[in-house]
Amino acid sequence: MDDIINTEKTNPDTVNIDISSSVEIAEMINNEDMKIAREISKSLEDIARAIDVISNNFLKGGRLFYFGAGTSGRLGVLDASECPPTFSTSQEMVQGIIAGGDKALRYAIEGAEDSTELAREDFNNHNITSNDTVVSISASGNANYVVEILKQAREKQVKTIALTCNPNAKMKEYADITICIETGSEVITGSTRMKAGSAQKMVLNMLTTGAMIKIGKVYKNFMVDVKPTNIKLKNRAVRIVAEITNVDYYTAENILLNNNFHIKEAVLQIKNNISFQEAELLLQKNNGILRKALNKSLN
């Protein structure tokens, strides 16, 4: 029994959860969840290394691919799907692939996580190159699907990152960087959608957000590349421009209405008293990084 993965072991603190009150159940789950951030803090250097790899590849025109099965796969798809509206990335820049395809987002696909053939097929379907980054996500780190993905990536000289909750994960052997968050036994034995899933979601947030910051998608702590696709996001864009430039709401709104809600250009237009076209050129000269563009002129 000593070879049982920690996430599959019985949690001694929750063995009476089935005879507990609703408040006690909530308390037990909350007590376990409070351990997650502390465990993640032990892996910050590995997370930072992963952010650097991803951002450097982005600057080369590369993409980020998340591969996973079950809960891990769904979390990868979720994080990838939130990048276009948050950072105005293309749909291709960050992609989440789940074993079993889109149907697996809603339904369990039998045998998907055990299939090396499916892994090879998914990997080959995306024309992954050495400028891309591959992240395999798995609580156990032993599923054939995620291990095979890393093997395929290594053969193509693609940078690889393993995200797992098992220090003895097979994925480690094929990963350039391993991020291991030891969340331990779950509230419900083996239910890795809980602590392990929460830890994975938190780390994925750090990877994409950190990489986007490094390539200039954020100014101070403002999402200056947000895609304003609804009223809430348009209002946020106006507030961002108003706060950065120290103008009133209506001045910022007017500039954004006239430049199709390009936040970075709007800031430069106001700060430098230049046209949209001039602001666009200034950004291009500074690789789209607003902080650099604010300190430069067109000359």
DSSP three-state, residue 261: coil
For residues 109 and 265, what is the distance between their CA atoms, to the nearest angstrom?
Answer: 46
| Sheet with 64-68: strands ordered across | 94-98, 64-68, 133-138, 159-164, 177-180
- By three-state DSSP, how is residue 286 classified? coil
Would you state the structure tokens that stand for residue 239, as one six-digit string?
Answer: 């507030």
Which one is catalytic: 32, 113, 148, 186?
A: 113
> What is d(CA 218, CA 207) in angstroms, rounded to the nearest whole number?
14
Query: What residue has token string 């709007």?
Result: 266
Q: What is the rounded CA–CA span in Å between residue 49 and residue 211?
A: 11
Confirm whether 82 is a catalytic residue.
yes
The residue annotated as part of the active site, out of 8, 39, 82, 278, is 82
Q: State the sign of the Cα–Cα–Cα–Cα dihedral 220, 213, 76, 30.
A: negative
DSSP string, 194-234: THHHHHHHHHHHHHHHHHHHHTTS-BTTB-TT----SHHHH
Q: Is residue 273 within 8 Å of 251, Cβ to Cβ?
A: no
Q: Is 159 strand, coil or helix?
A: strand
Residues ≥6 apart with Cβ < 8 Å to 219: 244, 264, 267, 290, 291
Residues annotated catalytic, as ranges: 82, 113
